[in-house]
């Protein structure tokens, strides 16, 4: 391939500051959890990455275990990077994470210094990078002292292997304690990555307040509830959808009658705003001021384009927000 990015790529994307840091992220970022493993067609993933960059998406989110098999999403992104994006390294924000099961034995999971340092080295090798821009601890570890995990994040930054660090899936109270440790260490902790969407509003019960108070940014994952907050499952389970794939994390049981009924009603509101259901769901997440970016997944270039078009209409009337709350309650 000899990819030439669109020279207008920075003209329409919105870039939001991450908390009080110097870093800005595109309002829509691309996640590589699904669709980039060895089970997926490489050329489709590559087209999605190229189209994303053409649309001003500068941020690509990975983790050690993304695939399947685990590690293959990093390996495949590393190939795309090496073949076509290497000369744009300074225009890209690439993140990775460690925290879930990655290799056998007691050192391939959770939050020890041993695991995090080794895992990032492995990720850098698969990605073909000297450093990642953001390295996350992927989930809290109930058994490792928080000081050890935060110390490992600090060590990684001082090694020059990550520019910033983040936490993912940490509840509000543990986030507050971590912030204090990280501040004392002088670690550039700038971002939290929680799940947030119309069907899962847990961050509104304390986490957003902690992040705002401490001026930490937020990038949210699964804003479409893995596809449920689109119109695709309203009539049936389409072939090739995440639910239809055996390795997909969205299961048939997630599509309950109650949720489908809500999506039907929300879809009417979307129509009245000249938006698709997916665009309504993404705009709704971005209405929360602490959210710097939404991390979308896409299995096609068309989906990605539709999702980025959300940015054409981010405003909600009070009436619309009230009606959405009624539907969701
Ligand atoms: P989404 O909620 O955006 O779901 C993405 C899926 O929804 C797509 O793969 C596609 O599925 C479907 N979809 C997307 N756009 C459309 C559209 N316009 N119309 C119809 N269907 C659409 O996000 P993900 O759950 O994929 O998560 C996004 C990213 O967040 C991940 O890639 C990862 O980077 C991060 N993440 C982080 C986690 C963490 O613990 N920190 C956990 C999970 C995700 P289909 O295959 O059916 O077409």
| pLDDT tens readout for residues 228-243 | 999 999 988 898 899 9
Is there a domain that residue 273 lies in?
Answer: no
Tell me what pLDDT residue 287 has.
98
Tokens representing 143 are 């058994």
d(CA 40, CA 76): 10
Inside any domain, residue 90: yes
Residue 250 CB-density burial (10 A; 0-12 exposed, 13-18 middle, 19+ buried): buried
Instruction: Please give the C-alpha separations between residue 246 and each of 42, 71, 240, in angstroms, as whole numbers.
Output: 18, 18, 10
- CA–CA dist 96, 119 (Å, integer): 10
Whether residue 68 is preceded by a cis peptide bond, meaning omega within 30 degrees of 0, is yes
Is there a domain that residue 73 lies in? yes
Cα 160 to ligand 1 centroid, rounded to whole Å: 30
Is 221 near ligand 1, meaning CB less than 6 Å away? yes
Question: What is the domain-level CATH number for residue 88?
Answer: 3.20.20.100
Using a 6 Å cutoff on CB, does residue 34 contact ligand 1?
yes
Q: Which atom of ligand 1 is nearest to the CA of 278?
A: 18
Q: Ligand 1 center to residue 244 CA distance, Å?
A: 14
Q: Is the CB of 241 under 6 A from ligand 1?
A: yes
| Any domain includes 238 | no
pLDDT (0 to 100) of residue 246: 85
Residue whose structure tokens are 């055996």: 246
Tell me, in angstroms, the distance from the centre of ligand 1 to residue 311's CA. Answer: 17
Bridge partners of 219?
A: 293
Ligand 1 mutation target, pool 40, 226, 231, 248, most atoms within 8 A of CB:
226
Residue 222, ligand 1, Cβ within 6 A: yes
- DSSP output for 64-97: TT-TTTTTHHHHHHHHHIIIIIGGGGGG-EEEEE
Residue 3 falls within a domain, yes or no?
Answer: no
Say how far apart CA 169 and CA 225 lie, in whole Å.
15
In the chain, % helix, strand, coil (3-state, to 5) comes to 45, 15, 40
- Domain assignment of residue 90, given as a range: 15-230+289-314
What total number of domains does the chain contain? Answer: 1
Residue 192 lies in a domain: yes
pLDDT of residue 248: 83
The low-confidence residues of the chain, meaning pLDDT below 50, are none
The reported pLDDT for the residue numbered 132 is: 99
198 in ligand 1 pocket by Cβ < 6 Å? no
In a domain, residue 91? The reply is yes
Nearest CA to ligand 1 atom 36: 221
pLDDT at position 2 is 87
306-324 b/e (C-beta count within 10 Å ≥ 16 → b): bbbbbbeeeebeeebeebb
* Mode of pairing for the β-strands spanning 59-61 and 132-137: unpaired
Ligand 1 near 232 CB (within 6 A): yes
**Residue 162 belongs to a domain:** yes
Question: Which residue has the least CA distance to atom 31 on ligand 1?
Answer: 31
Q: What is the distance in A from the centroid of ligand 1 to the CA of 260?
A: 18
User: Can you give the pTM of this predicted structure?
Assistant: 0.98
């Amino acid at each position: 391939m000899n990819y030439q990015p669109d020279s207008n790529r920075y003209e329409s994307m919105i870039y939001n500051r991450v908390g009080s840091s110097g870093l800005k992220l595109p309002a829509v970022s691309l996640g590589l959890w699904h669709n980039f493993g060895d089970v997926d067609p490489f050329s489709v993933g590559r087209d999605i990455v190229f189209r994303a960059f053409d649309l001003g998406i500068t941020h690509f989110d990975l983790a050690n275990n993304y695939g399947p098999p685990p590690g293959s999403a990093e390996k495949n992104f590393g190939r795309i990077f090496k073949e076509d994006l290497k000369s744009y390294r300074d225009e890209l924000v690439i993140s990775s994470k460690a925290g879930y099961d990655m290799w056998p034995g007691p050192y391939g999971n959770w939050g020890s210094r041993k695991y995090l340092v080794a895992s990032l080295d492995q990720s850098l090798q698969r990605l073909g990078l000297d450093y990642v821009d953001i390295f996350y601890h992927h989930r809290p570890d109930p058994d490792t002292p928080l000081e050890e995990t935060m110390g490992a994040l600090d060590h990684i930054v001082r090694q020059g292997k990550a520019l910033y660090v983040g936490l993912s899936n940490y509840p509000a109270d543990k986030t507050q304690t971590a912030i204090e440790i990280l501040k004392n260490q002088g670690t550039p902790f700038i971002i939290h990555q929680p799940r947030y969407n119309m069907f899962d509003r847990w961050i509104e019960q304390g986490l957003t307040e902690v992040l705002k108070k401490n001026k930490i940014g937020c990038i949210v994952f699964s804003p479409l509830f893995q596809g449920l907050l689109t119109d695709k499952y309203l009539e049936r389970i389409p072939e090739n959808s995440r639910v239809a794939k055996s390795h997909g994390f969205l299961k048939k049981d997630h599509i309950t009658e109650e949720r489908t009924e809500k999506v039907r009603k929300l879809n009417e509101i979307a129509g009245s705003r000249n938006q698709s259901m997916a665009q309504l769901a993404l705009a709704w997440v971005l209405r929360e001021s602490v959210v710097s970016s939404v991390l979308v997944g896409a299995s096609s270039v068309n989906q990605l384009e539709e999702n980025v078009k959300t940015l054409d209409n981010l405003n909600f009337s009070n009436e619309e927000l009230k009606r959405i709350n009624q539907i969701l309650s």
